[in-house]
Amino acid sequence: MKALVLTEIGKSEIQEIEKPIPKSGEILLKVGMVGFCGGDMNSFKGLFPLQEYPNILGHEVGGTIESLGSDVPNHIHVGEKVTVYPYLACGKCIACRKRQINSCKENKTMGVRRPGAMTRYITLPWTDIFPSSKLSLRELALAEPLTVGFHAVDRGRVSEQDNVAIIGCGIVGLGAVASAVNRGAKVIAVDLDDSKLEIAKKIGVAYTINPSKENLHEKLQEYTNGDGPDVIIEAVGSPQTYRQAVEEVAFTGRVVCIGYAKKEVEFNTSLFVQKEIEILGSRNCIGKKNFPEVISYLERGKFPVNEVISKVISIDEAPETLANWAANPAGIIKIMIDFDR
């Protein structure tokens, strides 16, 4: 069967691999849809420090259970549509000992530090699947990146009393938008791409700002009655947006960092002290909490699924598509491989 393999920096190719057989406690999943993560593009460009080469890419999955290994519980059924929890924790490091396994020091994400899902069949533990009889495979493939945004909102302790600015409206940022709106917060979406801001409006943000056309500081002050946002979620990963988050957050506010900055960031650290702000990292998601939340949210039809899927391709088109995306990322939110094309 075909698989998309990132062989080295700047190179991917289709390779033939063997169809796996489920072991005890595992299921065989027939992959229907799998999304490209922004991390895949950065890995292709050599900008993601955790990426291992060569590796089969892919961890945003919608699939159907094909068969069951032994010792799989009776409530798991062949034919069920599921999405996948793609993270593997070591169980031994300090984060795991504190039961914060999403931050495992030795975390092995599918497609990053172990083989991923950009192939027709994969095996995985039955405990790593989340089913939905209501969602399509493309909706299920959107669940994982949305969970990352939902977890960031958890980290920011967002409530209905908060003004929340989300800088960056890619798929993870839009997940944060969806979660914050769902909690009743007043949400301000910030992005350089007006089409992404239009999607944020459909999710329910109160305001949008395009800093290439408007003064970010003045607009944030206007929309928060001069206070600045109580919470800012940074979902871009650039030195400029990291600094903006610290500079624009309200006194006693909270900054949540999702994006990986590609270069070192210089801060005016006096702002940390003067404002007494909290700066919080946010990594991956809490599977048993965030996946059910996102699936329930998607099942209510509140998320503009079709608008965020920029392109659907076949596996054979994947190497060229990945190279083109890395060269020209503008306007792309989510690219998916459809294994039935």
Token look-up 């991956």 returns 284
- Digit-coded pLDDT (tens) for 298-313: 999 989 999 999 999 9
Q: Hey, what CATH topology would domain 148-281 get?
A: Rossmann fold (3.40.50)
Using the predicted structure, report yes or no on whether residue 139 has a pLDDT greater than 90: yes
With a CB cutoff of 8 Å and minimum separation 6, the contacts of 9 are: 44, 45, 46, 53
If you average pLDDT over every residue of the chain, what do you get? 97
Considering the entire predicted model, what is its pTM?
0.96
Token look-up 């899902």 returns 117
SS3 state of residue 238: coil
Q: Hey, what CATH topology would domain 2-131+304-338 get?
A: Quinone Oxidoreductase; Chain A, domain 1 (3.90.180)
- CA–CA distances in Å: residue 118 to residues 224, 279, 323: 44, 35, 16
Binned at pLDDT 50, 70 and 90, residue 330 comes out as confident
- Digit-coded pLDDT (tens) for 205-264: 999 999 999 999 999 999 999 999 999 999 999 999 999 999 999 999 999 999 888 789
- Digit-coded pLDDT (tens) for 41-55: 999 999 888 899 999
- Digit-coded pLDDT (tens) for 122-133: 999 999 999 999
Quote the strand ranges of 51-135, DSSP E: 55-56, 60-68, 81-84, 87-88, 108-109, 121-125, 129-131
With a CB cutoff of 8 Å and minimum separation 6, the contacts of 48 are: 39, 42, 112, 260
Tokens representing 70 are: 């032994």
Quote the strand ranges of the chain, DSSP E: 2-8, 11-16, 26-35, 55-56, 60-68, 81-84, 87-88, 108-109, 121-125, 129-131, 163-167, 186-190, 207-209, 231-234, 254-257, 278-281, 309-313, 334-338
Candidates 155, 149, 188, 166; CA nearest to 297 is: 149
Identical fold between 2-131+304-338 and 148-281: no
Domain locations in the chain as residue ranges: 2-131+304-338, 148-281
Using the predicted structure, report yes or no on whether residue 75 has a pLDDT greater than 90: yes
User: Can you name the residues that pair with 28 across neighbouring β-strands?
Assistant: 67, 123
pLDDT at 302: 87
Q: Is 277 within 8 Å of 271 (Cβ atoms)? A: yes
Rounded to the nearest 10°, the torsion over CA 78, 84, 88, 94 is: -120
Token look-up 């292709």 returns 44
